[in-house]
Structure 1
Amino acid sequence: MKQQWLTGLLICFLCVACFSFTMMPAQAQTLDMGSGAPVTIDGKDLFMIKARVGVLLPEERARIIQERLLQVARDSAIDIAQVTIHSSGSDAASLEIVAGQTVIMTVTEGDAQADEVTLAVAAEQRQSAIQAAIRDYRDMRVTRYLLLQAGKAVLLTGLVVWLWLLLRKADDYLRTLLQPAGAARVYVKKIPGRKWIPLEQIYNLFHYSLWAFVWGLKLVVLYFYLSIVLSFFPWTRAYSKQLLTYIMVVLESVSHAVWDYLPKGIAIILIVVISRFLLRLVSFFFTALREGKLKIAGFYPEWASPTYKIVRFLILTIAVISIFPYLPGSHSLAFQGVSVLLGVLLSLGSSSAVANVVAGIALTYTRSFNIGDRVKIGEHIGDIIEKSLLATRIRTVKNEEITIPNASILNSPVVNYSSASKETALILYASVTVNYDVPWQKVHPPLIEAALATPGILQEPRPFVLQRQFNNTTVSYEINAYTQEPHRMVDIYSDLHRHIIEFMQTAGVDIASPQYIAFHHGSASDKEAVKGKTDNH
């Protein structure tokens, strides 16, 4: 069934093509006669008037000749053999073409020189053209000829109607194949990191594409049908010629434009192919660097991706700059003006963006942090979840996402807790104050035991205590402990503080505070005095 439809469609197109070239009369063809004004009868150009006579321009001469020729053609009393050439009595350098008592035209030396022939040859050529035009004009208005042309028109109309119905049935048949049930058999490739393409969208795409194609084909058939049918009758042949001229002018312009643009198109294709090859080569090179298959001294694997993006941007920029002169209209003032305007707008509006891009590159090659690192940027502490040339995003310990411009990061101190833990270990520390009357030998052990009892604290290297400061009434002790889990800093600190309180209380060591110190060992009056001062404040 499907092959029968295709065969019928092919036969129909061949029939229309045959009608286009066999049924169209020769009168509808346009003669290429160079510049000048044509003398036209029933849509056929007979000859060109290129020279002026006296004050009459070629256009005015052609109009007068055409009116006289139509007058002679309509007068059946004038025989074609009566169209003769006579010498002009007033001017020996010209000849007249006469039909009966009517002078159709005067052939001058200017006409002969324009055609690059002698005066006699020019007159004979015009005489033959006028006789043929009169004969065709009369023959095409005979009842037998008109009935024959009407039959051709009816036959072509039936053929076009059949073709129209055939296209409609073919459209319905293809739509049946593209129903969602049938479209479910279409294999859709899954793109990594993307969702499956809904089959309904595929069906809609084919549906509208098929609709546009079928209606475009119908309009083309209708256009050529009108052109051919109008050419069958002498009264509408000029309109047929005009319709064909429209499409031929468009096709000729497009073909010339494509042919003239072909060398530039080839240059663009070569630039695209070379750029694509370079991008693949660069991608292969930096992928090997990122995966560690290729090593370069002083080049770190985490530099591979950003460096590849920079190199790819440079390659694409050079490709666009190279392609730009070959684009259609690239040398026009309007195109150049728009390009300058866009350049100015980008320059004025992208200063901060450029600063962020430069800062992003600097942060990449200074290795300040990587994705997943626990960092402190300004007053924000969190994990790096995204790095780009414009900004960096972190997720804080409170599960807040903060976007920080790279220029701000470059101008702020950055503390990376994860970088130290990768090489050795990160030291966490906590300070407590104890009275002078408590020996340090009694303070160190509970602090170290509290650290060792905290989950996430390493047993080796062992925690250690530093006596950091002598206050007025207390000594500041600092417990330092190693960890390789910087992402659990908050939990580890919480457990460490809790264990410090527990182990210090178990050891009988009080953690002092300024108010508590003021009356811990004083008299009752001293306690009341301190309490009064505290209440007043």
Structure 2
Amino acid sequence: MRFLYKYLQRLKLLLSALLLITILSTAGQAQDTPAEPSDADAAGSEVFKAPVIIDGDPLFFLRGSSALPANERAERVQNRIIEIAESSESLNVEITYRDSELGTEILADGVVVSVATEADAELDQMEIDIISVLQGDAIREAIVTYRANRSDEARVSGAIEAAGWTFGFAVFIVLILWLHRRIRRRTLEIVQSYLKDVETVTAKSVQAEAIAALIRYGLNFILLILFFLGFYYYLSFVLLSFAETRYFAQLLLTYLTDPVLLIFRGIISYIPNLIMLALITWITLYIIRGMRVFFDAVEAGSFEMRDFERHWINPTFNIARVVVVLIALVFAVPYIPGSDSAAFQGLTILVGAMLSLGANSVVSNMLAGLFVIYRRSTSIGDRIQIGDHIGDVVQIKLMETHLKSIKNELISIPNSQLMNSDVVNFSKKTDGSGLLLHTTVGIGYEEPPEKIEAMLIEAAHRTKSIKTKPEPFVLWTALADYAINYQINGYTTRGSIIPKIKSDLHRNIVAVFNENNVQIMTPSYIADPPEPKIPTEGWDGHLAHEDDGDEKA
């Protein structure tokens, strides 16, 4: 029974540590905020209250005045109780009462310890006789407990208890070290067994060692927190085993337990908001999943939408998803902890200012990307020309558009540039005739124009990718100083290979003109050369050289 009583006393001290948190906070608020003056305090003096604490155990509250503040009065009573308790080792304490001008004096072993006043009775809303008896009983118990905790038997018991806590802490450290080694050995094996198929599919782009290292880091961090908590409470319980250090142990428990209890109470009080956030999240995910099913049906063709192009599906889904998430955030913000605080509001203003000042180009590119996606002038697969860049559109993103050039180069063009530049689309058909391909040659005035036009049309007919209907035609673009500029025009429906068509057309023009012994005067003409500049003999695959080592012909 004595053993059980001893540990019930320890439990009482632990509970008193928690009570001390409330008492200290209450006392601090009472000292910071003056109480409202009552009828007895007509002079307007400020009135406070403070607890009498012995070995961390609060006994009762005392009321102060402007002449004697409550904390000074409580400290005097504490010192008298300790002096009386240290003056003897007897566990029998005689408490007597005596009336005085100030109130009822409380004596312990014939020494005045405290005076119960009418102000104290008013504080607890009791009669002064009852208050004096209750304070006397608390003083007797405090003195008896103080002497019992400092006896030789109590010190031996405290040492045994501290040794028990030390042994338990040693076992705790051994367990932590064992878990640390176990985590190091087993984490990689478990991760490799679960991610074996993932590594095979992704060609080992997901490395098990890296994932195991991250998991080990997280588990070791948890072990470090547990070790810190274990050491902190071990030190507190060891100090709690001895009466001389019990007050410091209660302070240690107060400093750690107060934040933990505050967090725990915050979590408990936040559960309704957490349920509401979970409900908003579930509804949002359900709506997004439903939109995904709808757009998959549109992409598969099971659900038709008039004038809705296929390459709009993913961008439209992404935009709708962002809108749904933003609406969900509007509903969720009031349930986020601290959302109504000035700090949270200042943070949102700061983020908004940063986005507005530093993301102008990003926002412009995003808006331009939306216009590029939905304006129908450019689609994936089209051959387009933007400035000096010609290529096929392979991807239209929210920020940029990717082209694959005719040289198989990947060109990334910001959407803002795409919006502000002239775009030539070779793939879009404006009518049934196709694209009008053209090139210009300059021929001297001595050649008959009808002959030149016929040769150019013949060259166009020899070019396979130029259509025969509508017929190619020739325009006179300029009457230059030494030549007439003839422009051959032909229709084609193969806009994706325009460079190849032009190359074939130029080759055929040269061939036809050579066959008819007509010189092309482009780019300029000064005078007739002594010899014709057209080949007079067929190509034999070899170059002619002078025998004497002169320059090449």
Partner of 2:289: 280
The 5 A counterparts of 1:61-460 are 61-76=73-88, 80-88=92-100, 90-91=101-102, 94-179=103-188, 183-187=191-195, 190=198, 196-397=205-406, 402-420=411-429, 425-432=434-441, 447=456, 450-451=459-460, 453-454=462-463, 457=465
1:71-122 deviations in Å (ceiling 9; x for gaps)? 111122877342222222x35xx21111234101111222223223222221
Partner of 1:40: 53
Cα distance in structure 1, aligned partners of 2:74 and 2:392: 88
Cα distance in structure 2, aligned partners of 1:305 and 1:47: 72
- Is the 2:183–2:216 Cα contact (8 Å) retained in structure 1? no
| 1:476 paired to 2:486 | yes
**Taking structure 1 as reference, are residues 438 and 28 closer, same or farther at Cα in structure 2, changes over 3 Å only?**
closer
72-81 or 408-417, larger mean C-alpha shift: 72-81
Q: What's the offset of the Cα at 1:237?
A: 0.8
1:438-476 deviations in Å (ceiling 9; x for gaps)? 677766675555445546x16x65573213128656472
Cα distance in structure 1, aligned partners of 2:7 and 2:455: 108
Q: 1:45 is matched by which residue type in structure 2?
A: P
Structure 2 unaligned spans of 5+: 28-48, 531-553
Q: Tell which has more relative contact order, 1 or 2 (C-alpha 8 A, sep 6+).
A: 1
Give the 3-state SS of the residue equivalent to 1:503 in structure 2.
helix
Cα distance in structure 2, aligned partners of 1:500 and 1:217: 86
**Taking structure 1 as reference, are residues 409 and 273 closer, same or farther at Cα in structure 2, changes over 3 Å only?**
same
Q: 2:80 is matched by which residue type in structure 1?
A: R
Equivalent residue pairs, number: 497
| 1:487 paired to 2:496 | yes
Cα distance in structure 2, aligned partners of 1:324 and 1:335: 10
Give the 3-state SS of the residue equivalent to 1:418 in structure 2.
coil
Calculate percent identity across the aligned residue pairs. Answer: 31
Cα distance in structure 2, aligned partners of 1:292 and 1:79: 94
Q: 2:96 is matched by which residue type in structure 1?
A: T
Q: 2:192 is matched by which residue type in structure 1?
A: A
Structure 1 unaligned spans of 5+: 1-17, 522-537
115-124 or 388-397, larger mean C-alpha shift: 388-397
Give the 3-state SS of the residue equivalent to 1:368 in structure 2.
coil
- Is the 1:448–1:463 Cα contact (8 Å) retained in structure 2? no
- Is the 1:24–1:228 Cα contact (8 Å) retained in structure 2? no
Q: What's the offset of the Cα at 1:65?
A: 0.9
Q: CA RMSD in A?
A: 3.6
Q: 1:26 is matched by which residue type in structure 2?
A: K
Give the 3-state SS of the residue equivalent to 1:80 in structure 2.
coil
Partner of 1:465: 472
**Taking structure 1 as reference, are residues 155 and 389 closer, same or farther at Cα in structure 2, changes over 3 Å only?**
closer
1:21-56 deviations in Å (ceiling 9; x for gaps)? 76825345325676532222222222222x236822
TM-score by length of 1: 0.81
- Is the 1:29–1:44 Cα contact (8 Å) retained in structure 2? no
Cα distance in structure 2, aligned partners of 1:414 and 1:348: 30
**Taking structure 1 as reference, are residues 189 and 254 closer, same or farther at Cα in structure 2, changes over 3 Å only?**
farther
Give the 3-state SS of the residue equivalent to 2:512 in structure 1.
helix
Q: 1:242 is matched by which residue type in structure 2?
A: L
TM-score by length of 2: 0.78
Q: 2:381 is matched by which residue type in structure 1?
A: G
Cα distance in structure 2, aligned partners of 1:193 and 1:393: 25
Give the 3-state SS of the residue equivalent to 2:205 in structure 1.
coil
